[in-house]
Structure 1
């Protein structure tokens, strides 16, 4: 299967989010020790991340092509919404229902669970054959349907489930 420029940018951005997810989560967690609320710390880290993405898009627009910069920016925003913002906020809602955590604590656990979901989704993406070829983009029929549904479930529910596991682990130790 051949992917065009947009598909290649989407893959790079997606795997970039996989690599960035533990950095973002741990930076927000570390910064939250100095802030009253985890949400404020996460907002600061996300603002810095958005600034880096914007700088990358501007650099592409200036050095390569304005269309390339615009494409990168649009794909990065879409991927961040689908792979980061929605799963973490959904995870916060689920953790708020499943536990006695308040909204800010649930956000913290969902954010700390997000890298686990991202790494697992990357592993599932390349599971059919590795990085070089035969990832889920090459699957067809029922195999493709099962693979994509599994990826959607892992990305969507992963932060909540991993956060719940972390919460239960901490509750047992404490």
Structure 2
């Protein structure tokens, strides 16, 4: 049961990452910049997870609801909160920009999409995924998956921040 919820929550996060970032850029003027918009939108995603957990609790019992809530919080922390904070911080410190949130947001969906491709790569959509891998395939696959999820947004954020500051400093 835990593994199924983990896969569903991860797939939901991957599916929602692009629309959340697009909405954050569209709402940045109204919600205090990209950082504020991401905060509000991701709080809404957590609210949606809470609604799903309550529904699971009503339909399948309190233990199922708690498992769903725990899985959603775990996936949210590992797949959204930590990578976005890390990317934003590194873009500000290494990239030399004042606000790293827009750069972090740019890197978040592509890195989750790349991690999803790594996850399904061992067998494709039809049969097996990374959870069925063993040996060296599992080691390389889980390492690549973890690196894409945790550090992918940071790599894109730092590269984009450095590019934007180099373009700004070379302007006449």
Q: How does the TM-score come out when normalised to structure 1? A: 0.87
Check if 1:54 corresponds to 2:47. no
2:26 corresponds in structure 1 to: 30
Check if 1:63 corresponds to 2:49. no
* 1:26–1:112 contact (8 Å) kept in structure 2: no
Q: Which SS does the other structure have where 1:32 is aligned?
A: coil
How many residue pairs are counted as aligned between the two chains? 168
Gaps of 5+ in 1: none
Q: Which SS does the other structure have where 1:15 is aligned?
A: helix
Check if 1:14 corresponds to 2:10. yes
| CA distance in 2: counterparts of 1:80 and 1:47, whole angstroms | 10
Within a 5 Å distance, the mapping from 1:75-154 to structure 2 comes to 75-102=71-98, 105-154=99-148
The runs of at least 4 consecutive aligned structure 1 residues that moved more than 3 Å come to 164-167, 169-174
2:151 corresponds in structure 1 to: 157
| CA distance in 2: counterparts of 1:36 and 1:147, whole angstroms | 38
- What are the Cα deviations for residues 109-138 of structure 1, in whole angstroms up to 9, with x where unaligned? 102210111111001100111123221111
* 2:49–2:72 contact (8 Å) kept in structure 1: yes
Query: CA, structure 1 residues 63+117, in 2 after alignment: closer, same or farther (shift >3 Å)?
Result: same
| CA distance in 2: counterparts of 1:55 and 1:36, whole angstroms | 26
| CA distance in 2: counterparts of 1:81 and 1:36, whole angstroms | 23
Q: Which SS does the other structure have where 1:84 is aligned?
A: helix
* 1:61–1:70 contact (8 Å) kept in structure 2: yes
* RMSD between superposed Cα atoms in Å: 2.0
Q: How far 1:85 sits from its partner (Å)?
A: 0.6
Q: How far 1:98 sits from its partner (Å)?
A: 2.4
Gaps of 5+ in 2: none
* 2:87–2:158 contact (8 Å) kept in structure 1: no
